[in-house]
């Protein structure tokens, strides 16, 4: 038994062809993949009413109703922009919060949830998550006035 086997340390397996399996190739992750992960993670936070500005949500609602218009794909990434490098990523999110919640608390929770999800799923280091609160949803506001005209 070798010293490393006795101490419980693992040694990387080197195969013919040189190097470990992890060093034999490159994995790239598209911006859209990170945007989807971040969008889903942000929506999971209590107090986040919607993602994106009013205009982008209205345009998205119209696009969702048009056959072949992009449907659910655009909705998940609405309000999310990612810049992805080889080992790091930076994100910009635009959110609408529910009236009465602490914006600072919601932004902090969104930031934590997004960082955890993106780093866990991609292995990328999240260097920053910028959050812009574009609106607050009041309890008596209609969901989307433009949507009701389109129906």
- The contacts of residue 143 (CB under 8 Å, 6+ apart) are none
Cβ density class 11-49: b for 16+ within 10 Å, e for less? eeeeeeeeeeeeeeeeeebeeebbbbbbbbbbbebebbb
The pLDDT confidence band at residue 53, using thresholds 50, 70 and 90, is: confident
Supply the pLDDT for residue 146.
Answer: 45
Write out pLDDT tens, residues 9-47: 666 666 666 677 777 888 899 999 999 999 999 999 999
The two beta strands, 125-137 and 88-98, are: parallel
Write the pLDDT tens digit of every residue in 58-76: 555 555 555 655 555 568 9
Q: Residue 51 is inside which H or E element, if any?
A: strand 48-51
Residue 133: half-sphere exposure toward Cβ, Cα within 13 Å = 19
Give the pLDDT of residue 23. 77
First to last CA, the chain: 74
Mean per-residue pLDDT over the chain, rounded: 82
> By the 8 A CB rule, do 10 and 86 touch?
no
pTM of the predicted model, to two decimals?
Answer: 0.72
Given a contact cutoff of 8 angstroms between Cβ atoms, the answer to whether 70 and 78 are in contact is no
What confidence tens digit (pLDDT) does each residue in 98-140 have? Answer: 999 999 999 999 999 999 999 999 999 999 999 999 999 999 8
Q: Is the pLDDT confidence value at 145 over 50? A: no
């Amino acid at each position: 038994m070798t010293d490393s086997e006795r101490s419980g340390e693992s040694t990387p397996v080197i195969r013919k062809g040189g190097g470990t399996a992890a060093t034999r190739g490159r994995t790239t992750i598209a911006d859209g993949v990170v945007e989807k992960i971040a969008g889903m993670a942000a929506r999971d936070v209590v107090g986040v009413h919607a993602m994106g500005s009013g205009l982008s949500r209205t345009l998205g609602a119209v696009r969702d109703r048009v056959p072949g218009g992009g449907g659910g794909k655009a909705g998940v990434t609405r309000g999310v922009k990612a810049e992805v490098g080889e080992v790091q990523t930076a994100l910009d999110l635009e959110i609408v919060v529910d009236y009465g919640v602490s914006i600072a608390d919601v932004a902090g929770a969104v930031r934590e949830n997004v960082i955890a999800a993106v780093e866990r799923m991609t292995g990328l280091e999240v260097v920053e998550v910028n959050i812009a609160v574009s609106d607050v949803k009041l309890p008596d506001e209609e969901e989307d006035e433009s949507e009701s005209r389109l129906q």
